[in-house]
Amino acid sequence: MENTEIINYHPSLKIFFKIINYEWLEKYFTIEKRDEEILSNPEKYILDKGGFILFAIHDGAVCGTVAMIKHNNDVFELAKMAVLKKFRGKKIGEKLALEAIERAKNMGAKKIILDTNRSLTVAVSLYVKLGFIKCGNKEYEETGYERETFRMELVISGQ
């Protein structure tokens, strides 16, 4: 992780937000209309609503990204987190997630939610390691995606 820097979104990095997320989406699922909308216009769907996007730079290469979507002053959603295949196994996803969580806490988040799929076993293991727990009684959540998802949440203590 020492060769990995986390930086803020800049318009020049917009294409990487899409490229990096397309890699994992195409491997496990299909690109849905909602994915395309968010990935093509992160300003409208994330930044203009008070959220943020971070990128990981490893040895000079843009290799990972994560978004934090602001639902309201208390609730943020960790979304669109991905690391390019050739950079996996270097704890870059963990570094991105930790930085995103810390920034959301500093913005007043009391809870961070995320929607994921059981087939993403490495991601689900990371979320559990970071303190996220499955919430709700339903096996799958209605999220607007065709793919089956379930919700996890991290309650921020001390707020």
How many CB atoms are closer than 10 A to CB 67? 25
Confidence check: pLDDT of 159 > 50: no
Count of alpha carbons within 13 Å of 57, Cβ hemisphere only?
A: 7
Mean per-residue pLDDT of the chain: 93
Q: What is the mean pLDDT of residues 44-50?
A: 98
Q: What is the mean pLDDT of residues 17-33?
A: 96
Instruction: Please report, for residues 94, 117, 125, 130, the alpha-carbon distance to residue 152 in angstroms, rounded to integers and kept in the order given.
Output: 16, 10, 12, 11
Q: What percent of the chain has pLDDT over 90?
A: 86
Q: What is the pLDDT of residue 55?
A: 98
Beta bridge partners of 134: 152
Number of domains in the chain: 1
Q: What is the mean pLDDT of residues 33-60?
A: 97
Confidence check: pLDDT of 7 > 50: yes
User: Which structural domain range is residue 117 located in?
Assistant: 4-155
Q: What is the pLDDT of residue 2?
A: 74
Angle at 100 between CA 115 and CA 109, to 5 degrees: 80
Residue 34 phi/psi, 5° resolution?
A: -65, -40
Instruction: Please report, for residues 4, 39, 48, the alpha-carbon distance to residue 42 in angstroms, rounded to integers and kept in the order given.
Output: 23, 6, 8
Q: What is the mean pLDDT of residues 138-154?
A: 77
Q: Which residues have a Cβ under 8 Å from the Cβ of 47 and sit 6 or more positions away?
A: 9, 53
CATH classification of the domain holding 61: 3.40.630.30
Work out the pLDDT band at 142, boundaries 50, 70, 90: low
Q: Which residues have a Cβ under 8 Å from the Cβ of 147 and sit 6 or more positions away?
A: 29, 32, 117
Q: What is the mean pLDDT of residues 112-116?
A: 95
Confidence check: pLDDT of 59 > 70: yes
